[in-house]
Amino acid sequence: MDFLQRIERTLEESLARTRQSGAPPRLAQALRHAVFPGGARIRPQLCLAVALACGDDDPRLAEGFAAALELMHCASLVHDDLPCFDDADLRRGLPSVHKAFDERLAVLAGDGLIVLAFRTLSERATAHPERLAGLLSILDESVGPPFGIVAGQAWECESHAALAEYQRAKTGSLFAAATVGGAAAAGADPAAWHGLGDALGEAYQVADDIRDVICDSAITGKPMGQDLALDRPSAALRLGLDGAVIHFDRLMQQAIDSIPDCAGKARLRGLVLHEAQRLVPTAGPNKVDRVALAPDRMHALEAALAALRVASPAASSASRAGNEAVDHPASGRA
């Protein structure tokens, strides 16, 4: 059974009890609408790939953590689409939950998915219960305050947001959790896997910023131009489109280079390369051109990226205090 089959099966099992007799039927429908059909499921796939690379001695636990990550991700999308945030009508090419049902059920569905995530993980730790506390901590820190995805959403409520901190919390935290959690679920030391998750998380958010500028809703399945309309931190707006594409390519290479030596290294590398082409392709009908910047513009880009690194250390566990946003456009392409 491949990764996607394992993930879909676990998610189906997690949602099955919501359809029990006597439960609110529209809530069950809203929960399912939020989770199925899924997107790329890259976070749980990454988790299972790392677990496999580390021996995968407890596949059921790895599946539980992978599904918990996806449920958390889906919950964040439901809340992100609400009228009080993005007020988005579309998600994955379908009406967002608050459009398909109503705002009250969307709030409840998002909350319910968070609870289901913890339940799914807890119920699958039967073979190695000693690993549960560590996995719960990884999940908690990736979602809750002060630096999880709730903090990423909260940055949108601030008058001034640090781009690196916003990206790390909004997107990077779940990617970091996917890699370290996959290792922990397999009983391996998670420390060696931080770099892969951190680089992929930042790259994914940069790609999202690029796609928000150049793609249309038919490709992404959600409204476009939201970063500019809502005045959100964006690598494409901050670095310029050409600078953001260069930054994305570097981050994906950094992710590949950070994969530890392991039995599943080739498969992980293939997963990263596949995602790079899916997000910001170098060929095909949706190709994103790579532009060689003039020396002065490349210097501006390097200065902007250096300022980001100074403002926010790369290690996800480092102090987040005192960061400032960077406003150094490196490219004029819109």
Q: Is 142 exposed, middle or buried (0-12, 13-18, 19+ CB in 10 A)?
A: buried
CA–CA distance, 179 with 65 (Å, rounded to integer)? 11
DSSP state of 171: I
Q: What is the dihedral of CA 67, 70, 71, 74, to 10 degrees?
A: -160
Task: Specify the pTM.
Answer: 0.86
CA–CA distance, 32 with 36 (Å, rounded to integer)? 6
- How far is C-alpha 307 from the geometric centre of its chain's CA atoms? 24
The answer to whether the Cα torsion of 130, 135, 138, 139 is positive or negative is negative
CA–CA distance, 55 with 52 (Å, rounded to integer)? 5
Count Cβ atoms below 10 Å from residue 176 Cβ, excluding itself: 28
Count Cβ atoms below 10 Å from residue 62 Cβ, excluding itself: 29
Count Cβ atoms below 10 Å from residue 270 Cβ, excluding itself: 13
CA–CA distance, 207 with 255 (Å, rounded to integer)? 14
Q: Are 88 and 162 in contact (CB under 8 A)?
A: no
- Give the number of residues written for the chain: 334
Pick the CATH number of 3-311 from 1.10.600.10, 3.50.50.60, 3.30.1360.230, 3.40.1350.10: 1.10.600.10
pLDDT in tens, the chain (334 residues): 799 999 999 999 999 989 999 999 999 999 999 999 998 999 999 999 999 999 999 999 999 999 999 999 999 999 999 999 999 999 988 999 999 999 999 999 999 999 999 999 999 999 999 999 999 999 999 999 999 999 999 998 988 878 888 888 998 999 999 999 999 999 999 999 999 999 999 999 999 899 888 865 555 566 656 766 767 778 888 889 899 999 999 999 999 999 999 988 888 999 999 999 999 999 888 889 888 888 888 888 888 877 766 555 443 333 333 333 333 333 334 3
Written as six digits, the tokens of 139 are 């999940």
Given this model, what pLDDT does residue 283 score?
A: 87
Long-range contacts of 96-100 (CB under 8 A, 24+ apart): 97/30, 97/33, 97/34, 100/30, 100/33
Using DSSP, state whether 266 is helix, strand or coil: helix
Q: What is the secondary structure of 186-222 as a DSSP string?
A: TTS-GGGGHHHHHHHHHHHHHHHHHHHHH--HHHHSS
Given this model, what pLDDT does residue 300 score?
A: 82
Written as six digits, the tokens of 173 are 């935290």
Return the residue matching tokens 């580390």.
54
Q: Is 49 exposed, middle or buried (0-12, 13-18, 19+ CB in 10 A)?
A: buried
